[in-house]
Amino acid sequence: MKGLELELEDGFPASRLFSQGVSYTYDDVIMLPHYIDFPADAVDLSTRLSRRIPLSIPCVASPMDTVSESSMAVAMASLGGVAIIHCNSSPAFQASLVRSAKSRRTPFVHGPSVLSGSDAIIRTFDDILPAVVVTDPEKVPIGVVARSDWERLENKDVPVSAYMRSAPPPVPAKYDFEEIAAFLAEEKLDLAPLVDEDGEVVGVITMEDIERIRGFPKLGKPSLGRDGRLLVGASIGTRENDKERLEQLVKAGVDVVVVDSSQGNSVYQIEMIKHAKKSFPELDVIGGNVVTIAQAQNLIQAGADGLRVGMGSGSICTTQEVCAVGRGQATAVYKVSSYAKDHDVPVIADGGISNSGHIVKALVLGASTVMMGSFLAGSHEAPGVYENQVCCETSGIHFLF
Ligand SMILES: NC(=O)C1=CN([C@@H]2O[C@H](COP(=O)(O)OP(=O)(O)OC[C@H]3O[C@@H](n4cnc5c(N)ncnc54)[C@H](O)[C@@H]3O)[C@@H](O)[C@H]2O)C=CC1
Ligand SMILES: O=c1[nH]c(=O)c2[nH+]cn([C@@H]3O[C@H](COP(=O)(O)O)[C@@H](O)[C@H]3O)c2[nH]1
Ligand SMILES: [K+]
């Protein structure tokens, strides 16, 4: 039998499968195994988020208020991916989240639990892991309290100034992981506050963290922006006041912007993409969401540097139920990628990823990256970098490299 007949006999080529007018979700399709002649660690996952932004792993955290704020942005960029900080907040607050993520080099740092000397620690220590930094009114560290100090206390209702340790020498937040580890070792510290250029505490790092992080599987090459700091994305809407939001985000150092609509092929989004490209030609702007070639065409013509594909694909997505529009995600990714690649526009397969097999399918179908919401945010309670990091870890991202 000839090659094609043999292949038809043994499953459809994608070009044929996706040209029958039927739309498929990830779970409707499976790829046939073929032949292995390379070791797993020879697989290179590096890719592009958008025209001018490279990533070392194809993973993007979704602009959802339950998923992406500063700590997810720092964790994802450190892993070689990126997070898009959500716009479900005031422009000023969203810009402050970008600034905070940009000020950090080391992902595995706790947001500081900071108290003033006169405060007492009454609550259980757990929700203020791993240490408390005591600061003066200018937020300069004057002492630290380790969990063990606090647990030994008979009466907890005393001001921390009565039993805190004197503040160890602070670690500059711009230090990377190895520099911090060396600093703690030299100074024989088991914990230290991290401070920004103004000496203000921005985090706490412990020797325990250093040991834990060393145990992580190999981390990807961190994603860095043109400013050499961690790569950070943010989303905007398509209203008039989103132009001001965009301005504040650019001032805060954002590296890429996602115009965030459930149906991106609208006069409003096209307007916003053109405005953003004209005002900030250096900034990559990703349009979406789209699921058809016609929608993609419009946004690429408007200047989009990337496309976000998915309608009704999100695990909590209600578009298909509410608006009766959408498309099976496997078909949407295949169709839009097949068109976008001819225009050098990378595609983000957005939503519906609940296992690493979905990630592989999205990439094989032509997406350059996958965007995840619930898969990264675990049970949607990812307040701190540890939870995000653990979610990344358990979510199979480490599986990918
Ligand atoms: N991936 C998906 O399938 C879905 C994603 N989402 C997410 O929910 C959030 C909100 O999405 P949307 O509701 O689409 O927000 P949206 O603000 O883009 O659109 C809401 C409505 O306002 C209209 N609109 C937008 N800009 C306008 C303007 N300048 N003037 C007049 N009317 C305007 C739109 O046409 C639409 O009818 C986003 O984060 C999106 O990612 C929501 C639904 C589905
Ligand atoms: O209909 C919706 N209403 C929403 O409020 C909403 N929030 C997020 N999304 C979309 O779902 C994607 C994340 O999907 P997963 O959790 O499956 O990764 C996200 O990337 C979005 O595309 C929404 N869809
Ligand atoms: K859904």
Query: Mean pLDDT of successive 10-residue segments in the chain (401 residues)?
Result: 58 88 93 84 88 94 91 85 96 94 72 71 60 81 84 87 88 84 91 84 80 65 89 98 98 98 97 98 98 98 98 84 91 98 98 88 95 73 38 43 32
CB distance 262 to 319 below 8 Å = yes
Residue 79: Cβ within 10 Å count: 29
CB distance 102 to 128 below 8 Å = no
Distance 373 CA to ligand 2 centre (A): 7
Query: Which of 258, 316, 321 maximizes ligand 2 atoms within 8 Å of its Cβ, making it the mutation to test the pocket?
Result: 316
- Order of strands across the sheet that contains 171-172: 171-172, 191-195, 201-206
Residue with the smallest CA separation from ligand 1 atom 3 is 311
317 flagged as catalytic: yes
Distance 386 CA to ligand 1 centre (A): 31
Q: Which atom of ligand 1 is nearest to the CA of 264?
A: 18
Structure tokens given for 234: 């943010």
Q: What is the dihedral of CA 198, 200, 206, 207, to 10 degrees?
A: 20
ipTM for the assembly: 0.93
Distance 317 CA to ligand 3 centre (A): 4
Residue with the smallest CA separation from ligand 1 atom 10 is 261
Q: Which of 346, 351, 342 is nearest to 307 (CA)?
A: 346
Q: How many CA atoms lie within 13 A of 60 on its CB side?
A: 39
Phi, psi torsion values for 372, nearest 5 degrees: -125, 140
Compute the C-alpha angle 316/321/325, nearest 5°.
105
Q: Is 289 in the pocket of ligand 1 (CB under 6 A)?
A: yes
Taking the C-alpha atoms of residue 177 and residue 312, their distance in angstroms, rounded to an integer, is: 40
Q: What contacts 393, CB < 8 A, 6 or more positions away? A: 216
pTM for this model (two decimals): 0.82
The environment of the single-atom ion ligand 3, i.e. residues with CB closer than 5 A, is 317
Output the pLDDT for position 201. Answer: 81
Taking the C-alpha atoms of residue 180 and residue 15, their distance in angstroms, rounded to an integer, is: 51
CB distance 390 to 379 below 8 Å = no
Q: Which atom of ligand 2 is nearest to the CA of 350?
A: 20
Output the pLDDT for position 369. Answer: 97
Output the pLDDT for position 11. Answer: 78
